[in-house]
Structure 1
Amino acid sequence: MSPKALFAVILFLAGTMPLFSQTGVGTKPIKGAKLVLDGTEKMLHKNWEYWEGPRFSSTMPIKWPAATDPIDGGPVISSNDPAGAGGKYGAADIVTKEKYRDFRAHVEFFVKDPGGNSGVYLQNRYEIQILDGDNTNHGMAAIINEQIPTSDAYNGTGKWNAYDIVFKAARFENGVLTEKARTTIYFNGVKIHEDQPIQQVWGGPNSGIDGGNDGGKGITDTPGGLKLQAEGHDVFYRNIWIKKLDLDGKSTDF
C-alpha cells in the first residue's frame, strides 16, 4: 500500500472510531458530541435542570453561581448551591435535560479548597466521586463504594482535572436485568477503570434514579442524564460534553 493510500485509511478509521481520541484537560468535543457546559450561565440554563428527588429543596432557576476561572479568567460554574450546604446531597444537584443510555462524556472540574466535594453521576445513578484528600473507595475518582482507581492521577486543588468516560447502561431482556452497567474512565489522561462493572446505586433515594429501589440494587431500564452534585463546596465545572453511543455487544474500553 502506498503512503498516500495508507494515510487515507488512517483518516477513514479516525472518522469511524471516535472513541480513540485525546483525553485529559482541554480535550475538545469529538465528532458527534454535544457541548453541554462551557462554563457560562447561558449554557447552564439551556442544558441543565435540577434533579427533583425526595430531598430537593432549591427552586428554579438553577442557583449554581457563576465564577471566574482562577487559572485563565474564563467563565466557570460552581457547585456551591446554597441548598447543598453542609453536604446535603440531593438538595440541589443538577442533571442534563437530555437523558442517555450508552455514551462517552468529558468533564472538567477544579476543586478550589482542601476537602472539596462534589460528584459526577452516570445516568443519574452511578457516582464517580470528586472528594479531595480521600483515596479510599469513597474518595477521588472512585466508582463510589465499589472500586478505587488503579492510579493516583489527581492534579490536586487549585488545578484543573478531567474525567473521560465511556459508559454502557445495564441491559435487560423482558424487563429482567441481564448485564450490569459498565464503564471505562481516564483521569487526566491516565486509565483508572477498565470496563468495570457497576453493582448498584449507593446513597439511598436522595442519590439518584433507583437509589431507593431495593437498597439501590433494583436497577431499572430508565435512561438518565449526566448529573453533578452540590454538597456546599466550590467545585468549578467547564468543558462538559457528551456523545451518545450504541455499545450493544461491545466493551467500554477505549
Structure 2
Amino acid sequence: MAASIAAPLAIAFCLNSVSYAQVGVGTKPIKGAEMYLDGSRKMLDDKWIYWEGPRFSAKPPIKWTVVNDPVDKGTVINCNDPASQGGLYGSADIVTKKQFKDFRAHVEFLITKPGGNSGVYLQNRYEIQVLDGDTTSHGMAAVINESKSPYYAYNGIGKWNSYDILFRAARFKDGKLVEQPMVTLYFNGKKVHSNQKISQVWGGPNSGIDGGNDGGKGITDKPGGLKLQSEGHDVYYRNIWIKDMELDKADTDF
C-alpha cells in the first residue's frame, strides 16, 4: 500500500514548457509523469532491477524491503540491502528498467539515523547525494563534487525530504561531447541548484555508467535509468515519479 502524503509545499512556474510544476514533499505526479515507487512490493519488482556493475553481489529478487511509513500512513521502501553492508555501494543498487535522456523527476526520502547514506543517480551516472551530517560538496543534496551542499534546506532525521529535478543529458556531435549534462534541483521546495553543469561521473566504476571510463570523464551518449543507492543504511524512499522530456535548449531552470 502506498504512503499517504501531505499537500505540496510550493508551486513553481516552469520556463521550459514543462507546464506548471509542483515541488516539495507530497507532490503528486505532474501531467504525463509515471509513478515508479509507491511503497508497494509490486511496483518495486515491476519497475526496478539491480544494477549489475563491477561490484554487484546481490541476487534477484530485490532484497530492499517494504516497511511502514514512520510519519504517514502506508508503506515505503527501505534501501538497506544485506549485500551492501559495510558501505559497499554498487553491490545492491537498484535502477529503473526504463532509461532516460532528459527528464523531470520527484523523489522523497527519509533518513532514520545519524550518518544515514544513500544517493539518487541521474541516468545511473550523476549522483545527487543523500547523506546526513555532511555539508561539503560530497554532502546532502550536493550534485556530488560539482556543487556545495544546500544543507540549510534539509528537514533532518526522521522527516521526509524531497528532490524535484529537471535534468538535461549531455549532447554529442559526431561522437564527441559538445554540451555538458545539466540539472536544476529543488530541495524541500527550495531551489538550491539552477542550471548546474556536471563535468564527469564521480566515484569510479562502482558508481554507475561511465564511472570507469577515462576516470569518469569519458561520458557516452547512452540513456540511463534513475538509480537509488544502497550503502548499508536504513534510508526510506517513497513517491518517486518521472516524466520523459525533450529539452532542446541548454536550460533546465524551472
Task: Give the TM bin, normalised by the shorter chain.
Answer: over 0.9
| Contact in 2 for aligned 1:99/1:226 (Cα 8 Å) | yes
Shift of 1:198: 0.3
Separation (CA, whole Å) in 2 of partners of 1:29 and 1:143: 23
How far the C-alpha of 1:21 sits from its partner, in A, is 1.9
Residue number in structure 2 paired with 1:5: none
Separation in structure 2 between the aligned mates of residue 213 and residue 175 of structure 1, nearest angstrom = 15
Identity %: 67
**Separation of aligned partners in 2, 1:107 and 1:230:** 15
How far off its partner does 1:73 sit? 3.2
* Amino acid corresponding to residue 26 of structure 2 in structure 1: G
Where do residues 89-128 of structure 1 align in structure 2 (5 Å cutoff)?
89-128=89-128
Shift of 1:22: 1.6
Tell me which structure has the larger Cα radius of gyration.
Answer: 1
Q: Structure 2 length as normaliser, TM-score?
A: 0.92
Task: Using the TM superposition, give the Cα deviation of residue 245 of structure 1 relative to its aligned residue in structure 2, in angstroms.
Answer: 0.5
CA contact (8 A) 2:183 2:252 kept: yes
CA deviation profile, 1:50-100 (whole Å, cap 9, x unmatched) = 000000000110000111101123110001001011110000000000000
1:19 Cα deviation (Å)?
A: 4.7
Q: Write out aligned runs for 1:60-79 (5 A).
A: 60-79=60-79
Counterpart contact for 2:95–2:225, Cα < 8 Å: yes
- 1:1-254 pair list within 5 angstroms: 17-150=17-150, 152-254=152-254
2:45 is paired with a residue whose SS is helix
- Alpha-carbon separation, structure 1, partners of 2:103 and 2:19: 10
The aligned amino acid for 1:133 is: G
> Residue 64 of structure 2: SS of its match in structure 1?
coil
Q: Does structure 1 conserve the Cα–Cα contact (< 8 Å) formed by 2:105 and 2:242?
A: yes
Structure 2 CA distance, aligned partners of 1:77 and 1:175?
A: 39
Letter in 2 for 1:112: T
Aligned length: 241
Q: Output the aligned Cα RMSD.
A: 1.4
TM-score by length of 1: 0.92
Hey, which of these two has a bigger chunk of helix by percent?
A: 1
The answer to whether the 8 Å contact 1:18/1:30 transfers is no
State the distance in 2 between where 1:250 and 1:124 align: 20
**Could you tell me how far 1:20 is from its partner in structure 2?**
3.0
Uncovered stretches (5+) of structure 1, i.e. residues with no partner: 1-12
| Partners of 2:77 and 2:236 within 8 A in 1 | yes
Distance 1:93 1:118 in 2: 9
Q: In the TM superposition, what is the alpha-carbon distance from 1:151 to its structure 2 partner?
A: 6.1
Distance in 2, matches of 1:196 and 1:213, equals 22
- Residue 17 of structure 1, CA deviation: 3.5
1:149, 1:193 within 8 Å by CA — same for their partners in 2? Answer: no
Give yes or no for contact 2:138–2:149 (8 Å, CA) kept in 1.
Answer: no
Between 66-75 and 80-89, report the one with greater CA deviation.
66-75
